[in-house]
């Protein structure tokens, strides 16, 4: 499934258009903690990692008040980014959702304690509607540009002419009456003075009256804004065009999604009925909080596999290990592979593959242990490699010296020898770093909870803020 | 845009036409009176297609003229804002150019001519692109879009633009010769 490009799209959109979204309560005007800017971004980001999710659960994970969250989601629903579903359900009804959530996860079943009550509650669920988001965003961009362009063009659709002598104004509609036989310009009906087009007059005398001046300035501003839109929304446009030919991930309606996932879960569990209350004990070790994003692990892995496949066309040394390696590993690991194509490379590859299987956005503490292990292993490998290399190099130099007996040559040659691979190393390293940076940036931007909410991308941040300004001034029409 | 509509009109006929060919005479008079005129309400009357019927004539006192109420169907041309028309350039000056699309006069001011076209004065004033590939002069055919109409009781005047996609010269007489 082409989920990743769409996720990226949503993230870009969130930062471009909803970064400084301020949702006010209808009647409460507390300004102290009322500043919930950036919350929209967090919510959208969180939603990219989930499929259908119960809003209460989402609120819990994001550590938001459910009312606040609902307000944000309602806004997104109006903006057609999110599809929501509400239904009254008993514990049993909730269970089908849980079953589905569990199936979407790694087949673990997650059940809330409180759900044994048989009371009917209205629960709301929400989900990103990717295909609609694509359309909505495209439409939004189109409207933005159209509005500006229209205003720019309409500025002088009907040209006005002014008689400099008697200040009489004519519009282009009078053109037929104004042409004179003597020359090819327009003449005033009253005083026969030569008329000037209004905008020419403006250009001629810089200090026109305030109204005209304001209009000209407005025009400049519009032009400027249009350019800014082009530049700042370029990443978004690129992402849109990238996504264009990819099928949008479809989760269907809540019921469909539940049914599909429950089925999948049943199949993988070998369990006949998941909805049965007696069989809900499996997942109790998980503390009762559903962790819907667990489900994404699977997808993530598949995706990275796909990416690797795509990158097969690239030089072989660069494959497999892209994307997932932490930065400290990239640099030194590259030195190894570039220098010595023996066991060290092998090992780093193995590390990489280890990393690959690990979900990227999984920021749970247990990862740290593994990371430490890897780190240790790597350090060991690195030192052996370093030692070996030194030995090798010394050997090479000695050999050269013996062979030629020349004093200057060995240094040159050894330089050459070490230079060739190091050259390559540098090139590859930078390339990899690029990829790595890119990836890492994005991974940082994946907040798994409210803690990372304030983390923003540098480039995106700038763009989002400025386009936010634009938004303030223009007041887009939607729908 | 063209319309086919039914209209009514009172025709005054001189008594000398009264006779067996009264209907023919009425028809001729109607055509002379109506075709080619412009009413702000309907637009330009291009042609009468059907001469349906005429009612009872009313003799006017004093003159002997008879007024017949006549119903007829005709083709009407009425320009609309945002309509795209093909027109023939009739006059080029530094303020822009005038063009005619059938009966309607259209003015295209120089602000609505693409920025890369410049006015070239001379005995054959024209607008030419910098690479001289496109030239607008008298008798050029242009496709333009109407951006405004002024409708008076008896005339319609339009302002057009060629500063948009797919607008501009569609046949250049200078290039053919």
Q: Per residue, what are the HEC states of chain A?
A: CCHHHHHHHHHHHHHHHCCCCCCCCCCCCCCCCCCCCCHHHHHHHHHHCCCCEEHHHHHHHHCCCHHHHHHHHHHHHHCCCEEEEEEEECHHHHHHHHHHHHHHCCCCCCCCHHHHCCCCEEEEEEEECHHHHHHHHHHHHHHHHHHHHHHHHHCCCCCEEECCCCCCEEEHHHHHHHECCCCCCEECCCCCCECEEHHHHHHHCCCCCHHHHHHHHHHHHHHHHHHHHHHHCHHHHHHHHHHCCCCCCCCCCHHHHHHHHHHHHHHHHCCCCCCCHHHCCCCHHHCCCCCCCHHHHHHHHHHHHHHHHHHHHCCHHHCCCCCCCCHHHHHHHHHHHHHCCCHHHHHHHHHHHHHHHCCCCCCCCHHHHHHHHHHHHHHHHHHHHHHHHHHHHHHHHHHHHHHHCCCHHHHHHHHHHHHHHHHHHHHHHHHHHHHHHHHHHHHHCCCCCHHHCCCCCHHHHHHHHHHHHHHHHHCCCCC
**Domain ranges in chain B?**
2-77, 84-176
Neighbours of B85 (CB within 10 A): 21
Buried-exposed string A267-295: b where 16+ CB fall within 10 A, e elsewhere: eebeeeebeeeeebebbeebeeebbbbbb
Query: Rounded distance, CA A324 to CA A355, Å?
Result: 6
Angle between the A366-404 and A343-357 helix axes, to the nearest 10 degrees?
160
Q: What pLDDT is attached to residue A107?
A: 41
**Distance from B110 to chain A by nearest Cα, in Å?**
9
CATH 3.30.40 segments of chain A: 152-226
| Chain B residue nearest residue A175, CA to CA | B107
Mean pLDDT of A411-422: 44
For residue A172, give the nearest of B107, B121, B163 by CB distance: B107
Q: What pLDDT is attached to residue A467?
A: 44
Could you give phi then psi for residue B84, rounded to 5 degrees? -100, 130
Cα–Cα–Cα angle for A321, A324, A326, rounded to 5 degrees: 105
Neighbours of A110 (CB within 10 A): 23
Is A152-226 a domain of CATH 1.10.443? no
Q: Is-contact A283 A111, C-beta < 8 A?
A: yes
Q: What pLDDT is attached to residue B175?
A: 52
Query: Rounded distance, CA A191 to CA A183, Å?
Result: 16
A197/B91 CB distance under 8 A = no
| Per-residue pLDDT band at A212 (split at 50, 70, 90) | low
Using DSSP, state whether B60 is helix, strand or coil: coil
Q: What pLDDT is attached to residue B98?
A: 93
Buried-exposed string B55-84: b where 16+ CB fall within 10 A, e elsewhere: eebeeeeeeeebebebebebbbbbbeeebe
**E strand or H helix at B81:** none
Mean pLDDT of B44-64: 89
Q: What pLDDT is attached to residue A261?
A: 79
- B78-113, pLDDT tens digit by residue? 999 889 999 999 999 888 899 999 999 999 988 888
For residue B109, give the nearest of A159, A179, A184 by CB distance: A159
**Inter-CA distances, B69 with B8, B11, B38, Å:** 7, 6, 20
Q: Is-contact A306 A62, C-beta < 8 A?
A: no
For residue A173, give the nearest of B95, B111, B150 by CB distance: B150
Interface with chain B: mutation pick from A152, A155, A172, highest number of B CBs within 10 Å: A172
Query: Rounded distance, CA A226 to CA A462, Å?
Result: 17
Residues 6+ apart with CB under 8 A from A20: A37, A38, A464, A465, A468
Pick from A329-343, A390-404, A427-441 the range whose average pLDDT is largest. Answer: A390-404
Q: What pLDDT is attached to residue A317?
A: 45
For residue A157, give the nearest of B98, B125, B147 by CB distance: B147
Is B2-77 a domain of CATH 3.30.1490.120? yes
Query: Rounded distance, CA A286 to CA A13, Å?
Result: 34
Q: What's the Rg (C-alpha) of chain B?
A: 22
Query: Rounded distance, CA A160 to CA A152, Å?
Result: 16
The dihedral over CA atoms of A275, A279, A280, A285, expressed in degrees to the nearest 10, equals -150
Which chain B residues are within 8 Å of A175, Cβ to Cβ?
Answer: 95-96, 98, 107, 109, 157, 159
Q: What pLDDT is attached to residue A110?
A: 41
Mean pLDDT of B143-148: 91
Neighbours of A344 (CB within 10 A): 22
- A106-157, pLDDT tens digit by residue? 444 344 444 444 567 788 888 888 888 888 999 998 888 887 877 776 555 6
Q: Is-contact A448 A293, C-beta < 8 A?
A: yes
Interface with chain A: mutation pick from B40, B94, B95, highest number of A CBs within 10 Å: B95
Q: Is-contact B89 B99, C-beta < 8 A?
A: yes
Say yes or no: A197 contacts chain B, CB-CB below 8 A: yes
Query: Rounded distance, CA A349 to CA B11, Å?
Result: 99
In CATH, what class is B84-176?
mainly beta
| Per-residue pLDDT band at B7 (split at 50, 70, 90) | very high
- Residue A428, pLDDT above cutoff 60: no
B147/A184 CB distance under 8 A = no
Query: Rounded distance, CA B107 to CA B92, Å?
Result: 10
- A159-200, pLDDT tens digit by residue? 778 888 888 888 888 888 887 766 777 888 888 778 887 665
Neighbours of A125 (CB within 10 A): 22
- Rama region for A288: left / alpha / beta (φ>0; ψ in -120 to 50; rest): left
For residue B148, give the nearest of A153, A157, A185 by CB distance: A157
- Rama region for A80: left / alpha / beta (φ>0; ψ in -120 to 50; rest): left
Using DSSP, state whether B176 is helix, strand or coil: helix
Answer with the residue of higher pLDDT: A340 or A105. Answer: A105
Which chain B residues are within 8 Å of A153, Cβ to Cβ?
Answer: 163
User: What is the residue-averaged pLDDT of chain A?
Assistant: 64
Say yes or no: A411 contacts chain B, CB-CB below 8 A: no
- Residue A235, pLDDT above cutoff 90: no
Which chain B residues are within 8 Å of A199, Cβ to Cβ?
Answer: 111
B95/A156 CB distance under 8 A = no
Query: Rounded distance, CA A175 to CA A160, Å?
Result: 10
**E strand or H helix at B14:** none
Which chain A residues are within 8 Å of B112, Cβ to Cβ?
Answer: 156-157, 159
Which chain B residues are within 8 Å of A157, Cβ to Cβ?
Answer: 112, 147-148, 159, 161
- A294-344, pLDDT tens digit by residue? 444 444 444 444 444 444 444 444 444 445 555 555 555 455 444 444 444
Query: Rounded distance, CA B159 to CA B100, Å?
Result: 11
Query: Rounded distance, CA A284 to CA A110, Å?
Result: 7
Of A137, A393, A358, A117, give the one whose Cα is nearest residue A242: A137
For residue B105, give the nearest of A157, A176, A197 by CB distance: A176
A159/B112 CB distance under 8 A = yes
Q: Is-contact A201 A208, C-beta < 8 A?
A: yes
- Residue B5, pLDDT above cutoff 90: yes
Cα A256 to chain centroid distance, Å, stands at 27
Q: What pLDDT is attached to residue A91?
A: 60
Neighbours of A58 (CB within 10 A): 23
| Percent above pLDDT 90 for chain B | 46
Q: What pLDDT is attached to residue A329?
A: 59
B91/A186 CB distance under 8 A = no
């Amino acid at each position: 499934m082409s989920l990743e490009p769409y996720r990226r799209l949503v993230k870009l959109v969130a930062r471009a258009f909803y970064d400084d979204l301020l949702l006010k309560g209808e009647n409460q005007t507390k300004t102290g903690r009322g500043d919930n800017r950036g919350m929209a971004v967090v919510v959208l980001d969180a939603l990219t990692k989930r499929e259908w999710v119960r809003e209460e659960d989402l609120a819990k994970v994001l550590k938001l008040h459910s009312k606040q969250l609902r307000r944000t989601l309602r806004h997104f629903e109006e903006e057609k980014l999110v599809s929501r579903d509400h239904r009254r359900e008993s514990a049993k009804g909730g269970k089908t959702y849980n079953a589905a959530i569990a199936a979407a996860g790694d087949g673990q079943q997650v059940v809330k304690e409180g759900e044994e009550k048989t009371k009917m509650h209205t629960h709301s669920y929400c989900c990103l509607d990717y295909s609609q988001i694509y359309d909505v965003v495209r439409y939004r961009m189109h409207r933005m540009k159209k509005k500006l362009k229209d205003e720019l063009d309409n500025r002088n659709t009907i040209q006005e002419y002014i008689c400099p002598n008697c200040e009489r104004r004519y519009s282009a509609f009078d053109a037929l009456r104004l042409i004179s036989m003597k020359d090819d310009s327009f003449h005033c009906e009253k005083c026969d003075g030569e008329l000037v087009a209004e905008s020419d007059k403006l250009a001629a005398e810089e200090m026109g009256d305030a109204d005209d001046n304001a209009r000209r300035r407005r025009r400049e501003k519009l032009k400027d804004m249009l350019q800014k839109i082009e530049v700042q929304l370029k990443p978004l446009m690129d992402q849109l065009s990238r996504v264009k030919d990819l099928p949008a991930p479809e989760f269907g309606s809540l019921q469909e999604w539940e049914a599909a996932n429950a089925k999948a879960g049943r199949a993988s569990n070998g369990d006949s009925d998941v909805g049965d209350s007696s069989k809900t004990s499996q997942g109790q070790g998980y503390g009762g909080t559903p962790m819907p994003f667990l489900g994404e692990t699977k997808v993530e892995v598949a995706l990275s596999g796909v990416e690797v496949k795509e990158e097969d066309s690239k030089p072989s040394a660069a494959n497999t290990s892209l994307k997932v390696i932490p930065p400290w590993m990239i640099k030194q690991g590259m030195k190894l592979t570039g220098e010595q194509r023996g066991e060290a490379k092998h090992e780093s590859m193995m590390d990489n593959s280890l990393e690959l299987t690990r979900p990227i956005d999984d920021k749970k503490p247990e990862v740290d242990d593994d990371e430490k292990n890897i780190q240790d292993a790597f350090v060991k490998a690195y030192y052996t490699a370093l030692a070996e290399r030194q030995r090798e190099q010394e050997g090479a130099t000695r050999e050269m010296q013996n062979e030629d007996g020349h004093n200057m040559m060995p240094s040159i040659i050894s330089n050459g020898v070490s230079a060739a691979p190091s050259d390559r190393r540098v090139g590859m390293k930078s390339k990899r770093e690029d990829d790595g940076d890119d990836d890492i940036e994005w991974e940082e931007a994946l907040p798994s909870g409210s803690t990372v909410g304030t983390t923003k991308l540098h480039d995106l941040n700038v763009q989002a803020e400025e386009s936010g300004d634009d938004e303030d001034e223009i007041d887009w029409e939607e729908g | 845009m063209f319309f086919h509509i039914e209209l009514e009109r009172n025709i005054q006929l001189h008594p000398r036409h009264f006779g067996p060919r009264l209907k023919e005479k009425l028809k001729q008079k109607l055509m002379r009176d109506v075709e080619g005129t412009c009413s702000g309400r309907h637009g330009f009357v291009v042609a009468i297609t059907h001469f349906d019927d005429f009612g009872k004539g009313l003799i006017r006192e004093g003159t002997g003229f008879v007024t017949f109420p006549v119903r007829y169907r005709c083709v009407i041309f009425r320009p609309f804002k945002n309509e795209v028309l093909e027109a023939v350039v009739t006059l080029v000056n530094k303020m822009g150019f005038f063009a005619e699309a059938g009966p309607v006069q259209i003015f295209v001011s120089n602000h609505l001519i693409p920025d890369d076209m410049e006015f070239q004065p001379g005995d054959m004033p024209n607008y030419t692109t910098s690479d001289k590939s496109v030239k607008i002069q008298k008798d050029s055919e242009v496709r333009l879009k109407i951006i405004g109409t002024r409708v008076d009781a008896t005339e319609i005047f339009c302002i057009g633009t060629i500063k948009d996609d797919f607008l501009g010269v569609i046949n250049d007489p200078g290039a053919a010769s």
